[in-house]
Amino acid sequence: MNRAVDWLRQAERDLQQAMFSQQHGMHEWACFAAQQAAEKAVKAIHLQMGQDAWGHSILRLLKQLPDDVDIPAELLEVAAVLDAYYIPPRYPNGFSEGAPYEYYTQRQSSEAIEYAGQILQFARAEVARRRERAPRREDLG
């Protein structure tokens, strides 16, 4: 059973959480939720292709896609920015002092949400393209 659509749906939900957190001034959580949305979206592409995808680096997950997936260079840069939001927004030892929430701003959370949206859009299109090309059960006959 292919679970790619489930992963995309959860990625959408994580992006909604990022927006909710941002609206409530929780910019560290908005950044982390945006990273999670993008990570799950890229994992959905892997799953649609019948591949396992492990790890949390969005950049690495994108680079591990087959060569027939045309990944814009800008998307790789966006992924690298989002990768920085996996651990530090959650743990005080990510910084030399202070709590994570003291280090994240509206600007960062806005950027993270925008970038996650770009990756999600890319993933939606790629999963849809792959689904159209996949043989249907009745065609396998």
What are 10-25's pLDDT values in tens digits? 999 999 999 999 999 9
Nearest-CA neighbor of 4 among 109, 131, 121, 92?
131
Q: Would you list the domain boundaries of the chain?
A: 4-133
Nearest-CA neighbor of 17 among 1, 2, 3, 38?
38
* Predicted local confidence at residue 133, as pLDDT: 79
Which tokens hold the place of 1? 């059973």
4-133 CATH: 1.20.120.330
The DSSP 8-state label assigned to residue 66 in this structure reads -
Task: Check whether 140 has a pLDDT greater than 60.
Answer: no
Q: Is 65 exposed, middle or buried (0-12, 13-18, 19+ CB in 10 A)?
A: middle
Dihedrals φ, ψ of 114, to 5°? -60, -45
Which tokens hold the place of 45? 């592409």
Tens of pLDDT, residues 74-121 = 999 999 999 999 999 999 999 999 999 999 999 999 999 999 999 999
* Predicted local confidence at residue 137, as pLDDT: 53
* Predicted local confidence at residue 132, as pLDDT: 85
Which tokens hold the place of 105? 């701003």
Question: Is the whole model's pTM more than 0.85, yes or no?
Answer: yes
